[in-house]
């Protein structure tokens, strides 16, 4: 089975591809450009860096009691990651862990462009976004399932006006709103790509050390 995904595919087309992948996990492993196994200790480290000590211990215990692997595909990256999870993890838990694991940037304001950019995240399984409070087990995620880490940009134009005390200053931009947006998004995308590269480098280093 060959599955081809491009940057220009619509959301519905991508979801159709993901559904095909869920039915053929072995073919996913063979056909995607790169499959990276995430060591459990690295995923646990991301958990501890994300949550309080008490909640971290709860999640670690759940991972020890009933672990299984899923294939994680990111809409922003070509690689597929095989990560250890527990069926009792909520979608919100997984998203927060992944944000830390992939070192995804926080909302950023590019002052020279007067554009603020942030990311919205969701998990997609079986063609549907998983509600944040639902557990993986509740929506039917099992060992070998393909889950998509879906990320979308949100941006705000700060050029139209700014507040300084009680005075509103209106600016006359030298670039159009679309041009400033595109420049800011390009810089933000580079920040995202750098986070993914760092995560991939860490995984590859761990794998090499184990050999």
- pLDDT tens readout for residues 56-102: 999 999 999 999 999 998 866 777 899 999 999 999 999 999 999 99
* CATH value at residue 160: 3.10.20.90
Q: Which domain holds residue 133?
A: 11-210
Residues of the chain with pLDDT under 70: 1-33, 75-76, 160-174, 207-211
Residue 189 lies in a domain: yes
Residue 1 lies in a domain: no
Taking alpha carbons only, the member of 117, 89, 99, 104 closest to residue 184 is: 117
Q: What's the pLDDT score for residue 52?
A: 95
Residue 108 lies in a domain: yes
Residue 111 lies in a domain: yes
Residue 182 lies in a domain: yes
Taking alpha carbons only, the member of 53, 139, 41 closest to residue 90 is: 139
Residue 122 lies in a domain: yes
Global pTM value: 0.72
CA distance 24 to 30: 10
Q: Which two structure tokens, joined as six digits, stand for 119?
A: 């990311």
Residue 36 lies in a domain: yes
Q: Are 89 and 135 in contact (CB under 8 A)?
A: yes
Residue 6 lies in a domain: no
Q: Which two structure tokens, joined as six digits, stand for 149?
A: 């880490």
Structural domains in the chain (count): 1
């Amino acid at each position: 089975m060959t599955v081809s995904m491009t940057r220009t595919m619509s959301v519905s087309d991508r979801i159709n591809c993901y559904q095909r992948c869920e039915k053929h996990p072995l073919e996913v492993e063979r056909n995607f450009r790169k499959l990276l196994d995430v060591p459990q200790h690295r995923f646990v480290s991301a958990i501890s860096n994300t949550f309080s000590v008490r909640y971290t211990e709860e999640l670690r215990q759940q991972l020890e009691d009933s672990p299984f692997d899923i294939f994680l595909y990111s809409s922003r990256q070509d690689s597929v990651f095989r990560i250890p999870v527990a069926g009792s993890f909520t979608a919100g838990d997984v998203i927060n862990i992944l944000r830390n694991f992939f070192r995804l940037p926080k909302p950023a304001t590019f002052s020279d462009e007067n554009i603020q950019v942030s990311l919205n995240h969701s998990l997609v399984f079986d063609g549907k976004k998983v509600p944040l409070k639902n557990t993986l087990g509740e929506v039917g995620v099992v060992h070998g399932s393909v889950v998509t880490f879906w990320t979308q940009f949100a941006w705000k134009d700060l050029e139209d006006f700014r507040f300084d005390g009680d005075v509103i200053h209106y600016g006359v931009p030298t670039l159009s709103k679309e041009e400033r947006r595109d420049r800011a998004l390009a810089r933000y995308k580079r920040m995202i790509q750098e986070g993914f590269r760092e995560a991939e480098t860490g995984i590859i280093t761990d794998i090499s050390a184990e050999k």
